[in-house]
Amino acid sequence: MEKFYLTTPIYYVNGQPSIGHAYTNITADIIARYQRMIGNEVFFMTGTDENSQKNVEAAEKAGRADDIQGYLDEMSALWQQSFDTLGLTHDRFIRTTEADHKKAVEKFWQAVDAKGDIYKGEYQGLYCTGCEAFVTESELVEGKCQIHKRAPESIKEENYFFKLSNYRQALLDHIEKNPDFIMPKSRRNEVVSYIDKFMTDISITRQSMKWGIPAPGDANQRIYVWFDALINYLTGVGYGTDDQRFEKWWPANLHLVGKDIIKFHCALWPAMLMSAGLPLPKQVLAHGFFTIDGEKMSKSLGNVIDPLPIVQDYGNDALRFFLMREIRLGEDGDFSLSRLAERYDGELANELGNLVHRVLSMTEKYFEGEIPERAEQTAKAEAMKNYQANMDEFRLPDALEAVWKIVREANQFIELKKPWVLAKNEDLHELSDTMYLSLETLRVLAWLINPFMPETAVKILTKLGLDPGTEFAQDYFSGLTWGKLAPGGKIDKGEALFPRREE
Protein backbone atom coordinates (compact mmCIF):
# COMPACT_ATOMS: atom_id res chain seq x y z
CA MET A 1 0.00 0.00 0.00
CA GLU A 2 1.35 3.38 -0.98
CA LYS A 3 0.31 6.78 0.24
CA PHE A 4 -1.27 9.26 -2.14
CA TYR A 5 -1.68 12.89 -1.09
CA LEU A 6 -3.84 14.93 -3.43
CA THR A 7 -4.89 18.57 -3.20
CA THR A 8 -7.18 21.01 -5.00
CA PRO A 9 -6.69 24.76 -4.92
CA ILE A 10 -8.27 26.49 -1.94
CA TYR A 11 -10.97 28.95 -2.87
CA TYR A 12 -11.74 32.55 -2.08
CA VAL A 13 -15.07 32.84 -0.30
CA ASN A 14 -16.23 36.06 -1.95
CA GLY A 15 -18.80 34.07 -3.93
CA GLN A 16 -20.38 30.65 -4.19
CA PRO A 17 -18.93 27.58 -5.91
CA SER A 18 -19.59 27.53 -9.64
CA ILE A 19 -19.60 24.64 -12.07
CA GLY A 20 -15.90 25.45 -12.68
CA HIS A 21 -15.01 24.82 -9.04
CA ALA A 22 -17.19 21.71 -9.07
CA TYR A 23 -15.24 20.48 -12.10
CA THR A 24 -11.89 20.84 -10.30
CA ASN A 25 -13.09 19.05 -7.19
CA ILE A 26 -14.99 16.32 -9.02
CA THR A 27 -11.82 15.61 -11.03
CA ALA A 28 -9.84 15.36 -7.80
CA ASP A 29 -12.56 13.18 -6.26
CA ILE A 30 -12.39 10.72 -9.18
CA ILE A 31 -8.61 10.46 -8.78
CA ALA A 32 -8.96 10.01 -5.00
CA ARG A 33 -11.61 7.30 -5.35
CA TYR A 34 -9.52 5.44 -7.90
CA GLN A 35 -6.40 5.58 -5.72
CA ARG A 36 -8.40 4.21 -2.78
CA MET A 37 -9.91 1.51 -4.99
CA ILE A 38 -6.49 0.19 -6.06
CA GLY A 39 -5.52 -0.03 -2.41
CA ASN A 40 -3.51 3.13 -1.78
CA GLU A 41 -3.87 5.15 1.39
CA VAL A 42 -5.26 8.49 0.27
CA PHE A 43 -5.35 11.93 1.82
CA PHE A 44 -7.46 14.28 -0.28
CA MET A 45 -7.66 17.92 0.72
CA THR A 46 -9.61 20.96 -0.39
CA GLY A 47 -10.65 24.13 1.41
CA THR A 48 -11.00 27.89 1.49
CA ASP A 49 -8.43 30.68 1.16
CA GLU A 50 -9.58 33.24 3.70
CA ASN A 51 -6.76 35.73 4.07
CA SER A 52 -7.36 37.48 0.79
CA GLN A 53 -8.24 41.15 0.50
CA LYS A 54 -11.01 40.04 -1.86
CA ASN A 55 -12.81 38.32 0.99
CA VAL A 56 -12.54 41.46 3.09
CA GLU A 57 -14.02 43.54 0.27
CA ALA A 58 -16.87 41.05 -0.09
CA ALA A 59 -17.54 41.16 3.67
CA GLU A 60 -17.62 44.96 3.59
CA LYS A 61 -19.94 44.92 0.62
CA ALA A 62 -22.26 42.59 2.54
CA GLY A 63 -22.32 45.09 5.44
CA ARG A 64 -20.14 42.83 7.58
CA ALA A 65 -17.08 45.05 7.97
CA ASP A 66 -17.27 44.62 11.78
CA ASP A 67 -17.61 40.88 11.58
CA ILE A 68 -15.24 39.65 8.89
CA GLN A 69 -14.55 36.34 10.62
CA GLY A 70 -18.28 35.70 11.00
CA TYR A 71 -18.74 36.37 7.30
CA LEU A 72 -15.88 34.01 6.42
CA ASP A 73 -17.36 31.30 8.68
CA GLU A 74 -20.69 31.51 6.91
CA MET A 75 -19.25 31.58 3.43
CA SER A 76 -16.83 28.75 4.12
CA ALA A 77 -19.70 26.66 5.54
CA LEU A 78 -21.57 27.28 2.32
CA TRP A 79 -18.67 25.88 0.28
CA GLN A 80 -18.48 22.87 2.54
CA GLN A 81 -22.21 22.19 2.15
CA SER A 82 -21.96 22.54 -1.58
CA PHE A 83 -19.07 20.05 -1.76
CA ASP A 84 -21.01 17.67 0.50
CA THR A 85 -24.04 17.85 -1.78
CA LEU A 86 -21.73 16.99 -4.67
CA GLY A 87 -20.77 13.82 -2.79
CA LEU A 88 -17.06 14.67 -2.64
CA THR A 89 -14.84 12.53 -0.44
CA HIS A 90 -12.06 14.91 0.67
CA ASP A 91 -10.47 13.94 3.97
CA ARG A 92 -9.97 17.49 5.12
CA PHE A 93 -11.56 20.83 4.34
CA ILE A 94 -8.88 23.31 5.37
CA ARG A 95 -9.43 26.98 6.18
CA THR A 96 -6.47 29.36 6.20
CA THR A 97 -7.90 31.22 9.20
CA GLU A 98 -7.43 28.09 11.35
CA ALA A 99 -4.91 28.26 14.18
CA ASP A 100 -2.74 25.38 12.93
CA HIS A 101 -2.30 27.15 9.60
CA LYS A 102 -1.01 30.27 11.34
CA LYS A 103 1.51 28.08 13.16
CA ALA A 104 2.61 26.43 9.93
CA VAL A 105 3.04 29.78 8.15
CA GLU A 106 5.14 31.15 11.01
CA LYS A 107 7.36 28.08 11.06
CA PHE A 108 7.76 28.23 7.30
CA TRP A 109 8.58 31.96 7.33
CA GLN A 110 11.25 31.35 9.95
CA ALA A 111 12.82 28.56 7.89
CA VAL A 112 12.98 30.76 4.78
CA ASP A 113 14.29 33.69 6.83
CA ALA A 114 16.98 31.48 8.42
CA LYS A 115 18.08 30.55 4.91
CA GLY A 116 18.63 34.27 4.25
CA ASP A 117 15.94 34.46 1.59
CA ILE A 118 13.85 37.25 3.13
CA TYR A 119 14.91 40.89 2.92
CA LYS A 120 13.29 44.29 3.33
CA GLY A 121 12.89 46.49 0.30
CA GLU A 122 10.68 49.03 -1.35
CA TYR A 123 7.94 47.76 -3.54
CA GLN A 124 6.73 49.99 -6.26
CA GLY A 125 4.53 48.63 -8.93
CA LEU A 126 1.21 47.34 -10.05
CA TYR A 127 -1.11 45.01 -8.19
CA CYS A 128 -4.29 43.33 -9.44
CA THR A 129 -6.62 42.64 -6.49
CA GLY A 130 -8.54 40.25 -8.76
CA CYS A 131 -5.46 38.04 -9.16
CA GLU A 132 -4.13 38.96 -5.71
CA ALA A 133 -0.84 39.30 -7.57
CA PHE A 134 1.75 41.83 -8.57
CA VAL A 135 1.64 42.33 -12.30
CA THR A 136 4.04 43.81 -14.81
CA GLU A 137 3.24 46.13 -17.71
CA SER A 138 4.07 43.35 -20.17
CA GLU A 139 1.25 41.21 -18.78
CA LEU A 140 -1.41 43.88 -19.34
CA VAL A 141 -3.56 44.43 -22.39
CA GLU A 142 -4.63 48.05 -22.91
CA GLY A 143 -3.53 48.71 -19.33
CA LYS A 144 -5.81 46.03 -17.90
CA CYS A 145 -5.34 42.60 -16.34
CA GLN A 146 -6.37 40.09 -19.01
CA ILE A 147 -8.24 37.88 -16.57
CA HIS A 148 -10.12 40.54 -14.63
CA LYS A 149 -10.44 43.24 -17.29
CA ARG A 150 -9.54 45.88 -14.76
CA ALA A 151 -6.62 48.24 -14.35
CA PRO A 152 -4.22 47.24 -11.58
CA GLU A 153 -3.55 49.56 -8.63
CA SER A 154 -0.25 51.37 -8.33
CA ILE A 155 1.45 50.59 -5.04
CA LYS A 156 4.53 51.98 -3.31
CA GLU A 157 5.47 50.71 0.13
CA GLU A 158 8.15 49.05 2.20
CA ASN A 159 7.75 45.27 2.20
CA TYR A 160 9.56 42.04 2.87
CA PHE A 161 10.79 40.30 -0.25
CA PHE A 162 11.47 36.66 -1.03
CA LYS A 163 14.60 35.94 -3.07
CA LEU A 164 12.69 34.03 -5.71
CA SER A 165 15.30 34.82 -8.37
CA ASN A 166 17.87 32.82 -6.37
CA TYR A 167 16.02 29.69 -7.42
CA ARG A 168 15.87 30.31 -11.17
CA GLN A 169 18.46 27.72 -12.11
CA ALA A 170 17.34 25.17 -9.52
CA LEU A 171 13.75 25.40 -10.82
CA LEU A 172 14.81 25.04 -14.44
CA ASP A 173 16.94 22.01 -13.52
CA HIS A 174 14.11 20.43 -11.59
CA ILE A 175 11.68 20.84 -14.47
CA GLU A 176 14.18 19.38 -16.91
CA LYS A 177 15.03 16.40 -14.73
CA ASN A 178 11.39 15.68 -13.91
CA PRO A 179 9.51 15.76 -17.20
CA ASP A 180 6.24 14.81 -15.47
CA PHE A 181 6.40 17.59 -12.87
CA ILE A 182 4.21 19.90 -14.94
CA MET A 183 1.21 18.40 -16.69
CA PRO A 184 -0.05 18.56 -19.30
CA LYS A 185 3.34 18.80 -21.00
CA SER A 186 1.96 21.51 -23.28
CA ARG A 187 2.04 23.91 -20.30
CA ARG A 188 5.71 23.36 -19.53
CA ASN A 189 7.05 25.92 -22.02
CA GLU A 190 5.06 28.82 -20.61
CA VAL A 191 6.34 28.04 -17.10
CA VAL A 192 9.94 27.65 -18.27
CA SER A 193 9.78 30.89 -20.22
CA TYR A 194 8.37 32.73 -17.18
CA ILE A 195 11.09 31.36 -14.87
CA ASP A 196 13.81 32.06 -17.39
CA LYS A 197 12.82 35.55 -18.54
CA PHE A 198 10.34 37.22 -16.20
CA MET A 199 10.66 35.82 -12.70
CA THR A 200 11.91 38.39 -10.16
CA ASP A 201 12.05 38.53 -6.37
CA ILE A 202 8.57 39.09 -5.00
CA SER A 203 7.15 41.11 -2.19
CA ILE A 204 5.64 38.72 0.35
CA THR A 205 4.03 41.20 2.75
CA ARG A 206 1.71 44.15 2.52
CA GLN A 207 1.64 47.17 4.77
CA SER A 208 -1.81 48.47 4.03
CA MET A 209 -3.73 45.28 4.73
CA LYS A 210 -5.65 44.84 7.96
CA TRP A 211 -6.57 41.21 7.34
CA GLY A 212 -4.24 38.23 7.04
CA ILE A 213 -1.44 36.59 9.00
CA PRO A 214 1.02 39.11 10.54
CA ALA A 215 4.65 38.77 9.45
CA PRO A 216 6.62 37.15 12.28
CA GLY A 217 8.49 39.86 14.15
CA ASP A 218 6.77 42.77 12.38
CA ALA A 219 3.13 43.35 13.28
CA ASN A 220 2.89 46.22 10.76
CA GLN A 221 3.11 43.82 7.88
CA ARG A 222 0.68 41.10 6.82
CA ILE A 223 1.79 38.14 4.76
CA TYR A 224 0.97 38.21 1.07
CA VAL A 225 -2.00 35.93 0.46
CA TRP A 226 -0.30 33.58 -2.02
CA PHE A 227 2.73 33.06 0.19
CA ASP A 228 0.34 32.13 3.00
CA ALA A 229 -2.14 30.16 0.87
CA LEU A 230 0.37 27.80 -0.74
CA ILE A 231 1.53 26.71 2.70
CA ASN A 232 -1.94 25.20 3.30
CA TYR A 233 -0.69 22.10 1.49
CA LEU A 234 1.81 21.62 4.34
CA THR A 235 -0.54 22.62 7.16
CA GLY A 236 -3.06 20.04 6.03
CA VAL A 237 -0.69 17.17 6.77
CA GLY A 238 0.72 18.44 10.05
CA TYR A 239 3.58 20.83 9.23
CA GLY A 240 4.32 22.80 12.38
CA THR A 241 1.92 20.78 14.52
CA ASP A 242 2.47 17.06 13.95
CA ASP A 243 5.90 16.05 12.64
CA GLN A 244 5.09 12.36 12.36
CA ARG A 245 2.02 12.97 10.24
CA PHE A 246 3.95 15.43 8.09
CA GLU A 247 6.76 12.90 7.51
CA LYS A 248 4.21 10.36 6.44
CA TRP A 249 2.31 12.46 3.89
CA TRP A 250 4.65 15.08 2.49
CA PRO A 251 5.51 15.55 -0.38
CA ALA A 252 2.14 15.69 -2.10
CA ASN A 253 1.70 13.31 -5.00
CA LEU A 254 -0.48 15.69 -6.95
CA HIS A 255 -1.57 19.32 -6.85
CA LEU A 256 -4.57 19.74 -9.13
CA VAL A 257 -4.88 23.39 -10.22
CA GLY A 258 -6.47 25.58 -12.87
CA LYS A 259 -4.24 26.79 -15.69
CA ASP A 260 -4.43 30.38 -14.38
CA ILE A 261 -2.46 29.52 -11.24
CA ILE A 262 0.15 27.21 -12.70
CA LYS A 263 3.00 29.74 -12.29
CA PHE A 264 2.35 30.01 -8.56
CA HIS A 265 2.49 26.22 -8.27
CA CYS A 266 5.39 25.48 -10.60
CA ALA A 267 7.67 28.45 -9.85
CA LEU A 268 6.92 30.28 -6.58
CA TRP A 269 5.82 27.21 -4.60
CA PRO A 270 8.74 24.89 -5.44
CA ALA A 271 11.16 27.79 -4.82
CA MET A 272 9.56 28.39 -1.42
CA LEU A 273 9.92 24.69 -0.58
CA MET A 274 13.56 24.61 -1.71
CA SER A 275 14.26 27.60 0.48
CA ALA A 276 12.59 25.97 3.49
CA GLY A 277 14.51 22.75 2.81
CA LEU A 278 11.43 20.65 2.03
CA PRO A 279 10.87 18.11 -0.77
CA LEU A 280 8.87 19.20 -3.80
CA PRO A 281 5.44 17.84 -4.78
CA LYS A 282 5.67 15.08 -7.37
CA GLN A 283 3.29 16.54 -9.93
CA VAL A 284 1.22 19.60 -10.71
CA LEU A 285 -1.67 18.99 -13.09
CA ALA A 286 -3.34 22.06 -14.60
CA HIS A 287 -6.81 21.75 -16.07
CA GLY A 288 -8.20 24.14 -18.65
CA PHE A 289 -11.09 26.55 -18.44
CA PHE A 290 -14.45 26.07 -20.00
CA THR A 291 -16.86 28.35 -21.67
CA ILE A 292 -20.62 28.17 -21.22
CA ASP A 293 -22.35 27.61 -24.54
CA GLY A 294 -19.34 29.15 -26.23
CA GLU A 295 -19.15 32.21 -23.95
CA LYS A 296 -16.63 32.93 -21.23
CA MET A 297 -18.16 32.25 -17.80
CA SER A 298 -18.08 35.40 -15.73
CA LYS A 299 -20.03 37.18 -13.03
CA SER A 300 -20.34 40.25 -15.22
CA LEU A 301 -21.89 38.25 -18.06
CA GLY A 302 -24.28 36.67 -15.55
CA ASN A 303 -23.78 33.17 -16.96
CA VAL A 304 -22.06 31.59 -13.96
CA ILE A 305 -23.58 28.14 -13.50
CA ASP A 306 -24.40 26.80 -10.05
CA PRO A 307 -23.80 23.02 -10.06
CA LEU A 308 -26.43 22.22 -7.43
CA PRO A 309 -29.60 22.62 -9.54
CA ILE A 310 -27.98 20.40 -12.21
CA VAL A 311 -27.33 17.75 -9.59
CA GLN A 312 -30.95 18.04 -8.50
CA ASP A 313 -32.17 17.42 -12.05
CA TYR A 314 -29.70 14.78 -13.18
CA GLY A 315 -27.96 13.41 -10.08
CA ASN A 316 -24.29 13.60 -9.16
CA ASP A 317 -23.23 10.67 -11.30
CA ALA A 318 -24.61 12.17 -14.50
CA LEU A 319 -22.81 15.47 -13.87
CA ARG A 320 -19.53 13.69 -13.09
CA PHE A 321 -19.89 11.51 -16.16
CA PHE A 322 -20.70 14.46 -18.39
CA LEU A 323 -17.76 16.60 -17.23
CA MET A 324 -15.32 13.75 -17.84
CA ARG A 325 -16.82 12.81 -21.20
CA GLU A 326 -17.15 16.32 -22.51
CA ILE A 327 -13.99 18.09 -21.39
CA ARG A 328 -10.47 16.84 -22.09
CA LEU A 329 -8.62 17.11 -18.79
CA GLY A 330 -5.85 19.67 -19.28
CA GLU A 331 -7.51 21.35 -22.23
CA ASP A 332 -10.14 24.05 -22.54
CA GLY A 333 -13.68 22.94 -23.26
CA ASP A 334 -17.29 24.01 -23.42
CA PHE A 335 -20.13 23.30 -21.03
CA SER A 336 -23.65 23.16 -22.33
CA LEU A 337 -26.84 21.95 -20.71
CA SER A 338 -28.19 20.71 -24.01
CA ARG A 339 -25.08 18.53 -24.50
CA LEU A 340 -25.60 17.22 -20.97
CA ALA A 341 -29.17 16.25 -21.86
CA GLU A 342 -27.94 14.56 -25.04
CA ARG A 343 -25.29 12.51 -23.27
CA TYR A 344 -27.72 11.60 -20.50
CA ASP A 345 -30.30 10.29 -22.97
CA GLY A 346 -27.80 8.75 -25.36
CA GLU A 347 -24.98 7.31 -23.30
CA LEU A 348 -26.43 6.89 -19.84
CA ALA A 349 -30.07 5.97 -20.47
CA ASN A 350 -29.75 4.25 -23.87
CA GLU A 351 -26.33 2.64 -23.59
CA LEU A 352 -25.46 1.85 -19.96
CA GLY A 353 -28.99 1.97 -18.56
CA ASN A 354 -30.38 -0.16 -21.35
CA LEU A 355 -27.54 -2.68 -21.12
CA VAL A 356 -28.18 -3.27 -17.44
CA HIS A 357 -31.92 -3.42 -17.96
CA ARG A 358 -31.91 -5.92 -20.81
CA VAL A 359 -29.31 -8.24 -19.24
CA LEU A 360 -31.27 -8.40 -15.99
CA SER A 361 -34.64 -8.75 -17.77
CA MET A 362 -33.36 -11.69 -19.82
CA THR A 363 -31.86 -13.30 -16.73
CA GLU A 364 -35.32 -13.08 -15.15
CA LYS A 365 -37.01 -14.41 -18.21
CA TYR A 366 -34.71 -17.31 -19.11
CA PHE A 367 -33.24 -18.27 -15.74
CA GLU A 368 -35.88 -17.14 -13.27
CA GLY A 369 -33.58 -14.43 -12.02
CA GLU A 370 -30.79 -16.80 -11.14
CA ILE A 371 -27.20 -16.30 -12.33
CA PRO A 372 -26.50 -19.20 -14.74
CA GLU A 373 -23.44 -21.47 -14.91
CA ARG A 374 -20.05 -19.87 -15.44
CA ALA A 375 -18.89 -19.48 -19.00
CA GLU A 376 -15.36 -20.50 -19.78
CA GLN A 377 -14.14 -17.51 -21.72
CA THR A 378 -12.04 -14.89 -20.08
CA ALA A 379 -12.40 -11.39 -21.42
CA LYS A 380 -11.87 -7.64 -21.07
CA ALA A 381 -8.18 -7.99 -20.09
CA GLU A 382 -7.04 -5.55 -22.76
CA ALA A 383 -9.69 -2.97 -21.91
CA MET A 384 -8.94 -3.22 -18.19
CA LYS A 385 -5.21 -2.69 -18.76
CA ASN A 386 -5.98 0.29 -20.93
CA TYR A 387 -8.30 1.69 -18.25
CA GLN A 388 -5.73 1.32 -15.53
CA ALA A 389 -2.85 2.86 -17.46
CA ASN A 390 -5.01 5.88 -18.22
CA MET A 391 -6.22 6.23 -14.63
CA ASP A 392 -2.66 5.93 -13.28
CA GLU A 393 -1.56 8.82 -15.48
CA PHE A 394 -4.64 10.95 -14.82
CA ARG A 395 -6.00 10.64 -18.38
CA LEU A 396 -9.47 10.30 -16.93
CA PRO A 397 -11.47 10.88 -20.14
CA ASP A 398 -9.43 8.17 -21.90
CA ALA A 399 -10.09 5.76 -19.05
CA LEU A 400 -13.81 6.51 -19.24
CA GLU A 401 -13.68 5.97 -23.00
CA ALA A 402 -12.15 2.53 -22.37
CA VAL A 403 -15.06 1.76 -20.04
CA TRP A 404 -17.58 2.94 -22.59
CA LYS A 405 -16.05 0.66 -25.18
CA ILE A 406 -16.94 -2.24 -22.89
CA VAL A 407 -20.50 -0.92 -22.52
CA ARG A 408 -20.93 -0.70 -26.29
CA GLU A 409 -19.35 -4.09 -26.94
CA ALA A 410 -21.59 -5.67 -24.34
CA ASN A 411 -24.65 -4.29 -26.12
CA GLN A 412 -23.28 -5.53 -29.45
CA PHE A 413 -22.57 -8.95 -27.93
CA ILE A 414 -26.25 -9.33 -27.06
CA GLU A 415 -27.31 -8.23 -30.53
CA LEU A 416 -24.93 -10.78 -31.98
CA LYS A 417 -25.84 -13.71 -29.72
CA LYS A 418 -29.59 -13.02 -29.77
CA PRO A 419 -30.49 -14.74 -26.48
CA TRP A 420 -34.17 -14.68 -27.54
CA VAL A 421 -33.31 -16.91 -30.51
CA LEU A 422 -31.12 -19.17 -28.36
CA ALA A 423 -34.04 -19.53 -25.93
CA LYS A 424 -36.45 -20.36 -28.74
CA ASN A 425 -34.04 -22.98 -30.11
CA GLU A 426 -33.45 -24.31 -26.61
CA ASP A 427 -29.70 -23.90 -27.01
CA LEU A 428 -29.28 -23.74 -23.25
CA HIS A 429 -25.51 -24.06 -23.15
CA GLU A 430 -25.00 -21.06 -25.44
CA LEU A 431 -27.77 -19.12 -23.70
CA SER A 432 -26.22 -19.74 -20.31
CA ASP A 433 -22.77 -18.68 -21.55
CA THR A 434 -24.17 -15.53 -23.11
CA MET A 435 -26.06 -14.48 -20.03
CA TYR A 436 -23.23 -15.32 -17.64
CA LEU A 437 -20.74 -13.29 -19.70
CA SER A 438 -23.15 -10.37 -19.83
CA LEU A 439 -23.83 -10.44 -16.11
CA GLU A 440 -20.14 -10.74 -15.25
CA THR A 441 -19.46 -7.79 -17.58
CA LEU A 442 -21.91 -5.73 -15.52
CA ARG A 443 -20.01 -6.63 -12.34
CA VAL A 444 -16.69 -5.62 -13.91
CA LEU A 445 -18.27 -2.40 -15.18
CA ALA A 446 -19.41 -1.56 -11.65
CA TRP A 447 -15.77 -1.68 -10.55
CA LEU A 448 -14.46 0.38 -13.44
CA ILE A 449 -17.08 3.11 -13.24
CA ASN A 450 -16.91 3.30 -9.46
CA PRO A 451 -14.49 6.28 -9.31
CA PHE A 452 -16.57 8.13 -11.92
CA MET A 453 -20.11 7.18 -10.91
CA PRO A 454 -20.04 5.73 -7.40
CA GLU A 455 -23.83 5.73 -6.89
CA THR A 456 -24.39 3.89 -10.16
CA ALA A 457 -21.69 1.34 -9.30
CA VAL A 458 -23.47 0.52 -6.04
CA LYS A 459 -26.82 0.21 -7.81
CA ILE A 460 -25.43 -2.20 -10.41
CA LEU A 461 -23.90 -4.45 -7.76
CA THR A 462 -27.14 -4.45 -5.78
CA LYS A 463 -29.08 -5.44 -8.89
CA LEU A 464 -26.66 -8.33 -9.36
CA GLY A 465 -27.56 -9.50 -5.86
CA LEU A 466 -24.15 -8.56 -4.46
CA ASP A 467 -23.41 -6.54 -1.36
CA PRO A 468 -21.51 -3.43 -2.55
CA GLY A 469 -19.68 -3.08 0.77
CA THR A 470 -18.35 -6.64 0.60
CA GLU A 471 -17.61 -6.46 -3.11
CA PHE A 472 -15.61 -3.23 -2.90
CA ALA A 473 -13.85 -4.32 0.28
CA GLN A 474 -11.96 -6.81 -1.89
CA ASP A 475 -8.57 -6.01 -3.25
CA TYR A 476 -9.02 -4.33 -6.65
CA PHE A 477 -7.02 -6.88 -8.59
CA SER A 478 -8.76 -9.87 -7.10
CA GLY A 479 -12.13 -8.12 -7.35
CA LEU A 480 -11.57 -7.70 -11.06
CA THR A 481 -10.62 -11.32 -11.62
CA TRP A 482 -12.88 -12.56 -14.37
CA GLY A 483 -15.46 -15.16 -13.34
CA LYS A 484 -15.95 -14.09 -9.73
CA LEU A 485 -19.71 -13.76 -10.10
CA ALA A 486 -21.11 -16.88 -8.42
CA PRO A 487 -23.69 -18.97 -10.31
CA GLY A 488 -26.93 -19.50 -8.45
CA GLY A 489 -27.08 -15.97 -7.03
CA LYS A 490 -30.35 -14.10 -7.32
CA ILE A 491 -30.50 -10.86 -9.26
CA ASP A 492 -32.83 -7.98 -8.44
CA LYS A 493 -33.75 -5.96 -11.52
CA GLY A 494 -35.32 -3.04 -9.66
CA GLU A 495 -35.83 0.36 -11.24
CA ALA A 496 -34.14 1.88 -14.27
CA LEU A 497 -30.63 3.23 -13.61
CA PHE A 498 -31.16 6.38 -15.62
CA PRO A 499 -34.90 7.02 -15.91
CA ARG A 500 -36.13 8.84 -18.99
CA ARG A 501 -36.47 12.51 -18.28
CA GLU A 502 -39.77 14.33 -18.57
CA GLU A 503 -39.76 16.74 -21.48
We find the least distance from the C-beta atom of residue 53 to Zn ion, in angstroms, to be: 12
Residue among 64, 103, 115, 148 that touches Zn ion (CB under 5 A): 148
Comparing CB distances to Zn ion, the nearer of 130 and 333 is 130
Q: Among candidates 36, 31, 71, which has minimal Cα distance to 52? A: 71
Residue among 22, 131, 261, 267 that touches Zn ion (CB under 5 A): 131
The piece of 27-35, 109-117, 121-129, 360-368 that touches Zn ion (CB under 5 A) is 121-129
We find the least distance from the C-beta atom of residue 174 to Zn ion, in angstroms, to be: 28
3 binds Zn ion (CB under 5 A): no
115 binds Zn ion (CB under 5 A): no
- Total of chain residues touching Zn ion, rule CB under 5 A: 6
Comparing CB distances to Zn ion, the nearer of 69 and 146 is 146
Q: Among candidates 59, 69, 83, which has minimal Cα distance to 11? A: 83
126 binds Zn ion (CB under 5 A): no
272 binds Zn ion (CB under 5 A): no
Residue among 22, 37, 145, 229 that touches Zn ion (CB under 5 A): 145
| d(C-alpha 324, C-alpha 33), whole Å | 15
Q: Among candidates 321, 313, 395, which has minimal Cα distance to 353? A: 321
Comparing CB distances to Zn ion, the nearer of 141 and 416 is 141
Give the HSE-up count for residue 256: Cα atoms under 13 Å, Cβ half-sphere. 27
Across 302-381, the runs of DSSP E, i.e. the strands, are: 333-335
We find the least distance from the C-beta atom of residue 205 to Zn ion, in angstroms, to be: 20
The piece of 13-21, 32-40, 104-112, 122-130 that touches Zn ion (CB under 5 A) is 122-130
225 binds Zn ion (CB under 5 A): no
CB within 8 A of 313, min separation 6: which ones?
501
We find the least distance from the C-beta atom of residue 133 to Zn ion, in angstroms, to be: 7
Comparing CB distances to Zn ion, the nearer of 130 and 288 is 130
First CA to last CA distance, the chain: 48
We find the least distance from the C-beta atom of residue 10 to Zn ion, in angstroms, to be: 18
Q: Among candidates 109, 84, 398, 392, which has minimal Cα distance to 253? A: 392
Residue among 111, 140, 147, 305 that touches Zn ion (CB under 5 A): 147
We find the least distance from the C-beta atom of residue 13 to Zn ion, in angstroms, to be: 18
140 binds Zn ion (CB under 5 A): no
CB within 8 A of 469, min separation 6: which ones?
none
Kindly tell me the sign of the dihedral angle through the C-alpha atoms of 145, 147, 150, 155: negative
| d(C-alpha 68, C-alpha 264), whole Å | 27
261 binds Zn ion (CB under 5 A): no
The piece of 139-147, 171-179, 302-310, 444-452 that touches Zn ion (CB under 5 A) is 139-147
HEC assignment per residue over 244-262: HHHHHHCCCCEEEEEHHHH
Residue among 130, 184, 251, 258 that touches Zn ion (CB under 5 A): 130
We find the least distance from the C-beta atom of residue 131 to Zn ion, in angstroms, to be: 3
- The contacts found for 381-387 with CB under 8 angstroms, 24 or more apart, are 381/482, 384/444, 384/448, 384/480, 387/448
What residues make contact with Zn ion under the rule CB under 5 A?
128, 130-131, 145, 147-148
